[in-house]
Amino acid sequence: MAISIDGKIHRGNIRVKFGEDFPKANSNMNLESTEVGEVLVYITHVGTPKWNDDYTVNVPVKLYITEVTKPSEEFEKKQRKEKIGLRLVR
């Protein structure tokens, strides 16, 4: 069992190019997230792959984010604001 850093199960698609390994259920994998940056994830479920026009495959997955290895600038700013406790007051 993996420990999620945010307590949520995330759903998404992993694009697999020719020659790359397919994601496997109950395994760890390094991914690039647009919101967070580079993350280590634990995959809990793998769905049915779907072919794309550019000879890649989209694989639907459910996963936990277990560790942020290289956070993006936006994620770091958000973490700093949450740590300080800044809020908009009207």
Q: Is the pLDDT of residue 87 over 90?
A: no
pTM (global) more than 0.85: no
Number of domains in the chain: 1
| Residue 36 domain-assigned (yes or no) | yes
Q: How far is CA 23 from CA 9, 17, 20, 39, in A?
A: 16, 12, 9, 15
| Residue 4 domain-assigned (yes or no) | no
| Residue 77 domain-assigned (yes or no) | yes
- Structural domain boundaries, residue 66: 10-84
Name beta bridge partners: 43.
27, 63
The Cα 84–Cα 33 span in angstroms is 24
Positive or negative torsion for Cα 77, 62, 29, 33: negative
Q: Which two tokens stand for residue 75?
A: 């994620």
Reported as a single tens digit per residue, the pLDDT across 23-32 is 999 999 999 9
Reported as a single tens digit per residue, the pLDDT across 13-70 is 999 998 899 999 999 999 998 888 999 999 999 999 999 989 899 999 999 999 999 9
| Residue 90 domain-assigned (yes or no) | no
